[in-house]
Each structure stands twice: as structure tokens, then as C-alpha cells.
Structure 1
């Protein structure tokens, strides 16, 4: 039995009265000061008064797969082209989350929509990986959620994405896939058994709705009161704000037939005026008091650059065996789930590089198999060997930021022959920032360089400061860390997102080292701005 199957408990009526009061009416998008402020001034959902305000994980935390394991909750998410990948988080109340690390370092390409489960005492993550050469579905496993995790196991499923694990009434394990298909797994979950079969045709929305595409994907299976519930996303994950949605079907048997909820979709952004756009791709979870929740993702109104953020929506089961979402458009505070809160959330993005390994906040973009060979830690500095010539081929090291405005600073010692810099990096096609060979500057804007390249220099010491405020990037530099000079070009970066160049990513602060030498990075600092 998978721990995603839970016993149903009575709904707490008082909670729902409060929730209904909070959710009544259309929500006005919160001002920046509406959230609580945590580490480095980062916004956090827990308001400290028994309520929370979405997002529960600000910034790019897409396709959340949440697992309840006793009194603990664990979470993993899509990591796409960033490695280490498959980030793992822990919570006791579904609102306050702490990082545990990552489940994969060996690259299998861009990682989409994973599913985290526990089965017979072992943890599994099923996920798709795709490269330019091809794609498949994989799994990693561990006997302890904190690792070590196995190397990826190829399931040889090249034609589907978004696997969702389930255990049937026959005790056998199955993997549900995009497009309404599924396949049986071996008892150890390490390989497929038999052919992929089609079991569900989906639910069709009215033709006049404004969506991106049909895109039936992200099936997650939950068993409740003798029914199997399949929660699926349709409508496209980006594109128009009103596209993505959550639909539900149920069956008495894992093999179908599956009947659609007459009230589909259970979640959808109905207007671009709402606080959260493109809401969808949900997982069901029950808290310790018997209250049920959906965790899914959405884009923040006007901030596609932040990526798809993790959202929490309360759920109520109805007398006919279906469920309804009670969080409205998630633009207002909601009562917190039951659970013992740790009172701590998130992680510092700043890093003094005093340790001997990369912090949980860091990941390389499209790293090679030997990427970590570039990394050393010496005397309180992160030392990166140069790679490529400009950010697009240098595998920048980036962190996920969840604030609408923030500032980062970093000190660099640039060796002769190297170029070091600081960036707002979306992908190899779109980034902005400033680099230097220690003497001259190279400007990065629109994913292009001016000048096109820098000649090797004699190196030098340089501080860079990036201020990202309301989509405007302002850059300062300093030769001594005290006297700062504003760079002569400011950049507007609101278009640096998926609907411009694809890839489902976010605009992230980071650093890079290019050329033939090394760059020593000292004291990377992050702070959110009001």
C-alpha cells in the first residue's frame, strides 16, 4: 500500500466557515508587504496568526509532488536543466518547508513532473528526462528520504511524460502516464511489465475557452473511500493565463472505466485579473486532522519571470463522493493545515562559501557529466574553472529567487585568462548581466554580448551588485567593495520567461566563470527588497 492512500476523517466545519469567509469575493492581488518576511527578507506564506498566504514556496517550484509519511510531509519538484536535480523538501504543516537536498546528480536531461511515493518502506521518485538525442522515463530510489539515492534507472518509456505511481486493487504497481495511458510495473517498481495501455480519454472543456493546448498530463492517483481518483492537468501549462486547469475522474478499479467529475474543472484561473495564472497540475494530500488539500503550481500575475510557484488549496469532500476546492483564487489568507509547525521556512540564498560543498540553493544549468570537476573550495572561496566563452556555454551556477524585487552582490578574484560575472539567467537563449576579465567589461542583454567577446586579460578583483526591481535590472560595480559605480545601461527583463523562449524555467540570479582561467567567488549576498 502506498502512503498516498489515507483514511477519511470528518471535515472540521469551523475551519470551513472561516475559510469561506476569507475566500468570499474576488481577491485583489496582494501588495508586496502582505506576506510575512523570513530569511534575508524573503517572503513566506505563514502569517503567524494561524493563516497563510500563497505561494507556499515562492519562485520556481513547478509540478509539486507531495507525500505524507506519518507526521511528516516530503516534496519534490521539476528541476528541468538544473543539476543537482529533483530537490527534496520537508515540512510538518504543509506551509513551512526546509530543504533536504537533491535526489539526482547524474544528468538524464531536462527533468519534468516527478512523482514521489513510499512503497513498502522504500522511497521512489518516478520522472521523465529528455535530451536532444531522445527521452525516456526514469526512477531513483532510497531507503532513507535523505539519501543516498540510487543512480537513475531507465524504464524505457520514450513516448510519455509525467508518470504517476499507483497500487491497484490487485496489489500490483502501475505507472499512469500522459495522454490517459498506463503500464504495469514489476513488484520492485524497477521495470515495466507488458505493454502500455490506454485507459482514460480525459475531459473536454468548452471550445470557446482560451487555453494553450489540450495537453492531458500529470496524472496523480489517490485512493479514498473505495474509489481511485485520477487528478489530471489539461489546457497547457503556460500560454494564456486561463489555460491550465485541474480535472478529476474516478473509478472503482485501477483499470477503469473512469468517470469524469460532473463539476470539472475543479480548479481553473477564470480571468487574467486573478492573482494566480495557469493554475494546475495537482497532487492530493490529507493532513493529520483529516483535512484534505491540493498542492499545485501557478504563475503570479505579472511575474512569469518567477516561474511556476507552489500553491496550497483546501479541499472538501461532498456527499456524492467528489471534492471541491475551497480556496477561491488563492488571493487571500487561508487557515493553516493542522500540524506541528517548525516555525522555520526556506533557506538562505546568500553563501560565504566557507564549507566544502555547494549549498542546497545552487544548481548548474545544463552541466556536463564532469561538471563538479570545475568546483573547488579554497580559503572561504568558491573556485570555478572557466568553461566556454559566454554564459550560454558556461553552465552558470544559479539559485531560485522567489521575491518580486531583490539585490545580490558578489566579490570576484578573476585569474588571468578568465572572465567572471553575475547574471539574471533564464536559459542559454535569454539572460542579462555583466562580466569582466578584470580590466574590461562585457555586457549581457537579451542573451547576447556587447562586445561579442573579451580578449584574455590580466585578471583582477571586482565586486558586482545586481538590483532586480519591478523587472528592471540595475548594475553597480566596485574595485574595493566600498565605492560603487553605476553601470551605464539598465535593462528591462519582464519578457525573460517561458512564453518568450520556452523551457518552463525562471529568471534566476547567479554567477559564471568562462575562459581559460579560474574565478574565485567570495561572499555571495542576497536580500529581498520591499
Structure 2
């Protein structure tokens, strides 16, 4: 979708800021210390906040989706032929008729999508829970993921994390996480897995067919918490139910059950969990943690693989880049699948599947490791990595010969409304991000620049604004919704300026250049604490945003030393 014609129905401010020469450079030590050798690739395969991966296969084509919460468009979808090289082909929920997150906090919206291909009717299904817009559990479908998805069918059941299963005989089922029956809850975090028959003609669960197939988890006597993210697989005539257990934090894991019938009864494997990092030394090097929320698929080499979420905390143990998508081979030579090396400290590199060449970062394939993402905004179609928050990018963005113009909405980054901010995910613990800004604010109500955002209540704003006749760069820190200016500096702006943020783990430093080369620091180094889920809570990772507003409240002031 081209963006150049948007200004026709949006009244663009005369002095709307123009952003150009966007350069993001990742520089994590782990990748410098572990360069790829021939026949290797990196995991995570998708760095940054791409949590809750789900995967499906049709012939030689693999499709993978992820949670997106209140990001717009929602549910990023990736395609691969080999499970190593991935291309983002768009978003499943890219229309306001499918995604109504305009009035919700960043960690509401779309949770845990599951994608399944039904060979019986040659149709792809994406089922998810949308905590917004009156949707709840919903499903969309398509014959071709490259050609867009239907409007949602609302589903008549409660709970979260729904997943479809299509049996060889044409029957369909939904499994999902739910609360125990009323009065049956035994402890905090006690959940159940339910199954329903699913009517493919009506795209609805069949009333009265719901049945609890897992109560609590593998062993109810041990009070397992948050059994969720269920998927059913069929192998050698038997039905395998795989779930996450332990909650998406330090106790996260993946467990598996088996049955001779899709509706159970299900028996847990004797060797659960089949994936977890929870039993390991907290002080291990290059720590990957929280592994779980997995999905299995047969690879092009006939072997099984599992995608799952994990985190790579910074040196302070904080999670700024969010929950990322990892992959491991799965050994399913015995009765139950087991993630290869899924219970020992995870390594950053894996061996390539036989016959596959690593093309990540080339030919349009998603980059990983330490990479540079440069965008001059000269294409009429935005890179899919750029996303909005709560509302469509097309409402405020236009491409011009000089770069990307953002028409400022009268909305502040702290408001729970669609903002005029174009984001991409922070994908490294250490990175440098530089943008060129052409902007002359007309009043103190106007600001344009960079925001680093964990949520509407936890963020940094670094931008250019006006006070009386002078222009200032201000740096504002918002924690628990309370904002304070931590630095401001008066600057002369005769031509476009460069703004930069450099992160080295927990240390973030802001600077600017008026001559293209000499960067001047604004304020002291600040902590990235508020950009972590440890401090901010929620389910998202930090995002870097190009931000413009005509409702600015970050005003320069004399700082008390």
C-alpha cells in the first residue's frame, strides 16, 4: 500500500516534520564473540519483541505469526522455505475492521495467535484472543496468506490462547486455556485446557461440546500454574497435546501429553518438561531465559523443529528487547518429542538443516546477529518493520521526496489513543539509532523527535520544541505515568539536525549533531530501567519511535542542579 496519497484526506500541518536517513546499528557482544561459521545460523531467528510464535506448513511453505498486543497493524506474519531464512510478508490484522485497539493500553489487544493450514479445505486459519474492540476469541482465514485475510468471526467461548486442530477425517477442534469451572479453582494461577468441536461451515465452536482435557497441568498436586498455549499434533495415529506451563517468566516451560483420541483422556509424558531454562544457574553467561510457548513443525529435512519464545536480559538482568522467537531441533524418534538441548544453557548458534544456505539479512530475508537497518523512506511502501500504535500508520504518514513526513496528531505519547509515531522494535541490548529531522516547531505545543517506549506510562521522549523565540532539545523521562524533564538544551537550527540514541546495555545516551559529524551529548547517561518489563510490567519489548505531536507537554526548563 503506497503512502504518498494520504495527505489528501488528512489536513497536513504546514510545518509537519520530515524524517530521513534512519540508521539502526546493533552491536551486541555475543555476536562479536560468536561469529557465524559455514553451516551455522543464529537463534533467536527473530530478535526483538516477536513473542508467542506459532507456525504452520503447506507443502514447501512455512508461515509463522506472533503476538502484537496494541501495535497496529497486528500479528506480523513471516514466510520461509527452510526455517532459517524468513521474510515478513505483512500483518494478518491490517484493517480497522479486524483490529480495534484504538483505546487500549499497549499490553492489551492481540494475544498468542495460532496459525494452522487445513489440508481438507485448502484454507489457512489464524485464531487468537483480542482484548479490545469487543472481540474476545476470534478467527480469520484465507486461501493465500499473501493476499490478505478475512474479517473476524467472533467465537463463543471464554479464556485465551485458542488453537485449531484439523484431523485427517475432516473433523476440526479448538483447544484453549480457560479458568477452572466455577468454585473449582484450587490456587492462584490454576488454569485448565479445554477442547471443543469446531464447525467449519459456520466458523464456530459447537455448543455443548466443551470438555476439560488438562486440569492444572502435568501434576495437579504440585500446583502448576498457567497451563496455556495448547497445540494438538497427530503422529503415528496418536494425538499429542503440547502446552506451555509455569507462566511467561522464570518458571516457563513446555510440556506434552498423549492420547488415542483428540478429545482425550490425555496422559502426560514421563519426562516433562521437554523445554525449559528454569533449572539452570542464574549467573550463566549469555543467558537465555523464560523458554516456552512453543509450536512444532516438520522441517524440509524430515526432522522436527520447535519455535518458542525466550529472552536475553541485559547485564542488569532486565528485559528491554522483549520476548523473542527462538528455534531448536526436536528429537521425535521416541514416543514423545524432546527439544534438542532445550534443558541445558542455550547457545546463540545452531547447525543449518541439511542443504540450506544462510541468507539472513540478504535478498529481503530478515536479518539477525549484529545488523544495520537503514531506511531513507524513498520507497512508496513502508518496510513492514515500521508499525503504529493503536491506529493505522496511514492516518499520519506520507512519503515525500525529502523523506517521511509525520503529520502530528493532537495526541501525546502518554495518552491511550492512536499516536502519530512510527515505531520499530529494539532488537539488541546494545545499539545506536540515528535519524535526520527537518522541523521548525511553531509553538511549545509542537514537538518532533525520538521516543523510546515500553508503554504509555514508561518511556523517554527526546525531541525538538520551541519556547518563546528559541528552539530547544528536551529529554523527558516518564515513569509510572509521571514525567520529568531530565535535560534540555537551546540549539540553533538552520538546517536538518541529526538525533541519536546510543544504548550500551542498561546505559542510554542521547546526542545531536547540527553539522552531520560532531555529536553533542544532551544530559547524562540515563538508565534503561523504565524500558524493561521488570520495571514497566506488561508483555511488550521496547520500541524506538519517530514521534511528532501537537499536544506536547515536555517543555524546556531551568534544571535544578
TM-score by length of 1: 0.81
Q: Name the SS for the 1:285 alignment partner.
A: strand
Q: Establish whether residue 244 from structure 1 lines up as the match of residue 243 from structure 2.
A: no
Q: Does 1:416 align with 2:468?
A: no
Q: Provide the C-alpha distance between the structure 1 equivalents of 2:142 and 2:492, rounded to a whole number of angstroms.
A: 48
Unaligned runs of 5+ in 2: 1-27, 102-108, 178-191, 553-561
State the partner residue of 1:298: 310
Deviation per CA, 1:398-431: give whole Å up to 9, x if none: 1123222111111222352421021221111111
Does the Cα contact within 8 Å between 1:442 and 1:450 map onto a contact in 2? no
Whole-Å separation in 1 of the counterparts to 2:516 and 2:296: 49
Q: Distance in 2 between matches of 1:30 and 1:410?
A: 24
C-alpha distance in 1, partners of 2:550/2:456? 17
- The correspondence for 1:226, drawn from 237, 240, 263, is 237
Measured after TM superposition, the shift of residue 90 of structure 1 is 1.6
Partner secondary structure for residue 146 of structure 1? helix
1:262 is displaced (CA, Å) by 0.9
The 1:395/1:384 distance shift into structure 2, 3 A limit, reads closer
Report what 2:32 is aligned to.
33
Give how far 1:503 is off: 2.0
Q: Is the 8 A contact 1:413 1:462 kept in 2?
A: yes
1:341 paired residue among 357, 364, 369: 357
Q: Closer, same or farther in 2 for the Cα pair 1:208/1:497, shift >3 Å?
A: farther
Q: Matches of 1:59 and 1:290 in 2, distance apart?
A: 29
Q: Secondary structure at the match of 2:428?
A: coil
1:480/1:117 CA distance change after superposition, 3 Å: same
Partner of 1:473: 508
Match of 1:200 in 2: 214
SS at match of 1:98: strand
Match of 1:160 in 2: 159
Deviation readout 1:425-478 (Å, 9 max, x if unpaired): 111111124122251233221444345999xx9997432111111121111113
Superposition TM-score, scaled by structure 2 size: 0.77
* Structure 2 counterpart of 1:281: 293
Partner of 1:428: 456
Go from structure 1 to structure 2 and tell me whether the alpha carbon gap of 1:279 and 1:295 turns closer, same or farther (over 3 Å shift). same
The residue aligned with 2:526 is 491
What do residues 112-149 of structure 1 show as CA deviations (whole Å, max 9, x unaligned)? Answer: 11111111222211111103x75511122222121222
Q: Which residue of 2 aligns with 1:374?
A: 396
Residue equivalent to 2:477 = 445
Structure 1: give runs of 5+ residues left out of the alignment: 1-28, 37-46, 518-530
For residue 321 of structure 2, give the secondary structure of its aligned residue in structure 1: strand
Taking a change above 3 Å as real, the CA distance of residues 458 and 335 of structure 1, as seen in their structure-2 partners, is closer
User: Aligned partners of 1:433 and 1:35: how far apart in 2?
Assistant: 34
Q: Alignment length, in residue pairs?
A: 466
Structure 1 position 31, deviation (Å):
2.9
Partner residue, 2:408? 386
Distance in 2, Cα, partners of 1:169 & 1:146: 26
- Aligned residues of 1:104 and 1:152 also touching (Cα < 8 A): no
CA deviation after TM superposition for structure 1 residue 344, in Å: 3.1
Q: Equivalents in 1 of 2:213, 2:203: separation in Å?
A: 22
SS at match of 1:31: helix
The structure, 1 or 2, with the larger RCO (C-alpha pairs under 8 Å, 6+ apart) is 2
Paired residues of 1:366 and 1:395 also in contact (CA < 8 A): no
Match of 2:88 in 1: 99
Say what the alpha-carbon RMSD is for the aligned residues: 2.8
Q: Equivalents in 2 of 1:94, 1:294: separation in Å?
A: 10
Q: Is the 8 A contact 1:233 1:281 kept in 2?
A: yes
CA distances 1:88-111 after superposition (whole Å, capped 9, x unpaired):
112222122121111112223311
Q: Is the 8 A contact 1:231 1:249 kept in 2?
A: yes
Q: Distance in 2 between matches of 1:287 and 1:508?
A: 32
CA contact (8 A) 2:396 2:420 kept: no
CA distance in structure 1 between the partners assigned to 2:414 and 2:354 by the alignment: 45
Alignment check: 8 A CA contact 2:431 2:504 kept? yes
Secondary structure of 1:162's counterpart equals: strand
Q: 1:171 is matched with which residue?
A: 170
